[in-house]
Amino acid sequence: MATVTYRRNGAVTNFAEGTFTSDNSAQTLSLGFIPSWIKVFNETDVIMWEKTKGMTASTCIKYNGTGPAITADTNSYILINTDGTVTLHATLVGNSKAIKFVAMA
């Protein structure tokens, strides 16, 4: 289960950050707002994904520390839901990985 911390940072009224250790299952992050941007970082394998509001549901940007450096990922790994949650695909989070995330609206 993800630990989510909420902060108000200057003009950014909706900001959340959190961390969890993955268990090979999809994770739903309850943010309480619909983010316009989210970044998810697998600290264990040095892989990062980003998604912004308006991107197609199946697409996000993947940064791989082992190369190729930047790719478009079309596997629906990050889904921004209309109820203030974000779903992270089981393949994205993996098993026993240190996962960090930050999101803002």
Predicted confidence (pLDDT) per residue in 47-89, tens digit: 999 999 889 989 999 998 877 688 888 999 999 999 999 999 9
CA-CA distance, 33 to 63, in Å (whole number)?
A: 25
Whether residue 41 has pLDDT greater than 70: yes
Asked whether 88 and 27 are in contact (CB, 8 A), the reply is yes
Residue 83 Cα to chain centre, angstroms: 16
More confident residue, 14 or 97: 97
Looking at residue 69, its pLDDT comes to: 84
Domain boundaries, the chain: 3-104
Looking at residue 9, its pLDDT comes to: 55
Q: Which residues contact 53 (CB under 8 A, 6 or more apart)?
A: 34, 35, 36, 37, 80
Give the predicted TM-score (pTM) of the model.
0.86
Whether residue 7 has pLDDT greater than 60: no
Confidence label for 90 from pLDDT (cuts 50, 70 and 90) = very high
Q: Which residues contact 54 (CB under 8 A, 6 or more apart)?
A: none
Average pLDDT, the chain: 88
Looking at residue 89, its pLDDT comes to: 95
